[in-house]
Homo-oligomer: A and B are copies of this chain.
């Protein structure tokens, strides 16, 4: 039986507080002791990945207290409760089952009278069958012509994750002949978003995937109408160009407006839904169902590692614990995510939602205010681009912000060029290695303008290549990291009440039911 206690009620909290900021990485990472740390502070992930935290402000003592925290907070027991179907999302009184899309981690989970693993696998099979028929030309437009483009209409979790994954695998798929259809995404209620996407595609050969769990998301329904208008204006029957990803109880589920409907349920939140039909339909259409299955397998392998109680065998838990230590005891409010891979350009935006929407909370899972800080701000851009941009502040600014690097030994397209004795990929990797050391150890200089204080912590995930499997594993790593941090903070990482108030007030503005400053702002914006 797990016990849900606030973080500051745990003995480990006091121990971490007593430890404080004790590791000087500028010293620890210098010379041979640094090389030893790189070898020692490394946790194997699945799919040939490793999580290396040598440049974090930890030592054996800190890690021992963090292991104690993991045990005391019953992190793996709580994970077990989650995947076995306990009601972990206390705010909305829901199970939390996104991992179940990827594999059976524990016992059967029966909810609403159905075995949920069978349900998710069934939806995936249906999406696979549909995608195969589209690719084979068995499902076509009214003139019997093949669809060439798939357009996802969704926002938030129905957009960021699937879009980041699509961009991450597009070049890989083209190289490996797994590329089936170009994918586009419409998300913003800004009409210029839909207009620009529609102007860039051939609607007659496009299939639209409308994604809304409730079937009531303002942006998504508005964009659906926008798209339907465009189809109608092109003389096309919209119902032959649209499928829905929605819950069984939504108004969209049984509508004849769609070629097909693929179901999601209340047990998978938007930001965790890339592994469900939300990602599955569009990605199976874009790359083929086999590629999406490989992505899920990559994630499933990482989910299994998260069961280990030993932090040295559980990379997500290690990452989570170090992050908590940095946030609550070292006082760092921000973490930068820096993939050295252009294909991962939108992955930081996805992680930003995943982390900030999950753990940006001030109350515990019972709705009581907590007395400690919770989730950090997450931002990031791919390297080396960021090096020529905001890294200046990270190196020489007045505050320290921890960094999460990601790097791969090989590039996706296997196309490269040798300049000055090295390939571009080698230059890319050399830069990430160099940055870690520059941040950790800095550089003395009598000219204070060229002085680097160092002592700026980072970790790195290293893989062989960005593939469906490694991408799935990295995604699961971060999902599980966020989950473990939520457990430590004793918050509910699976609801998002903070998005409601704005929606409510926007409706009032549109209904012209405003006064005071809200009316004044509405007037300013000419609404």
B373 near A398 (CB under 8 angstroms)? yes
Pick from A357, A392, A505 the residue with the most CB of B within 10 Å: A392
A509 near B434 (CB under 8 angstroms)? yes
**Which one of B174, B377, B515 contacts A393 once the chains associate, using CB atoms below 8 Å?**
B377
- A100-108, A184-192, A253-261, A304-312: which lies at the interface: A184-192
Asked whether A434 and B518 contact (CB < 8 A) given A196-B342, A393-B360, A462-B525, the answer is yes
B520 near A34 (CB under 8 angstroms)? yes
**Which one of B189, B407, B500, B520 contacts A427 once the chains associate, using CB atoms below 8 Å?**
B189
CB distance from A346 to the nearest CB of B (A): 10
A416 at the interface (CB under 8 A from B): yes
B499 near A381 (CB under 8 angstroms)? no
**Closest chain B residue, CB of each to CB of A368:** B448
**In the assembly, what is the distance between CA of A451 and CA of B443, in Å?**
47
A261-284 vs B, Cβ < 8 Å mask (1 yes, 0 no): 000000000110000000000000
**In the assembly, what is the distance between CA of A473 and CA of B434, in Å?**
38
**Closest chain B residue, CB of each to CB of A218:** B427
For chain A, give the interface size range: 35 or more
A521 near B436 (CB under 8 angstroms)? yes
Pick from A387, A390, A427 the residue with the most CB of B within 10 Å: A390
List chain B residues, Cβ under 8 A from A141: none
A396 near B497 (CB under 8 angstroms)? yes
List chain B residues, Cβ under 8 A from A369: 448
**Which one of B159, B190, B368 contacts A428 once the chains associate, using CB atoms below 8 Å?**
B190
A65 at the interface (CB under 8 A from B): no
- A73-81, A128-136, A292-300, A333-341: which lies at the interface: A333-341
**In the assembly, what is the distance between CA of A333 and CA of B426, in Å?**
35
B190 near A417 (CB under 8 angstroms)? no
A526 near B409 (CB under 8 angstroms)? yes
A428-456 vs B, Cβ < 8 Å mask (1 yes, 0 no): 11111111111011110001111111000
**In the assembly, what is the distance between CA of A360 and CA of B499, in Å?**
32
A219 near B384 (CB under 8 angstroms)? yes
B433 near A31 (CB under 8 angstroms)? no
**Closest chain B residue, CB of each to CB of A92:** B449
List chain B residues, Cβ under 8 A from A125: none
B35 near A397 (CB under 8 angstroms)? no
A517 near B360 (CB under 8 angstroms)? no
Shortest 5 CB-CB distances between A and B: which pairs?
A: A360-B393, A156-B388, A34-B517, A434-B505, A38-B520
Q: What are 5 A-B contacts with C-beta separation under 8 Å?
A: A35-B519, A54-B520, A194-B424, A357-B393, A441-B517
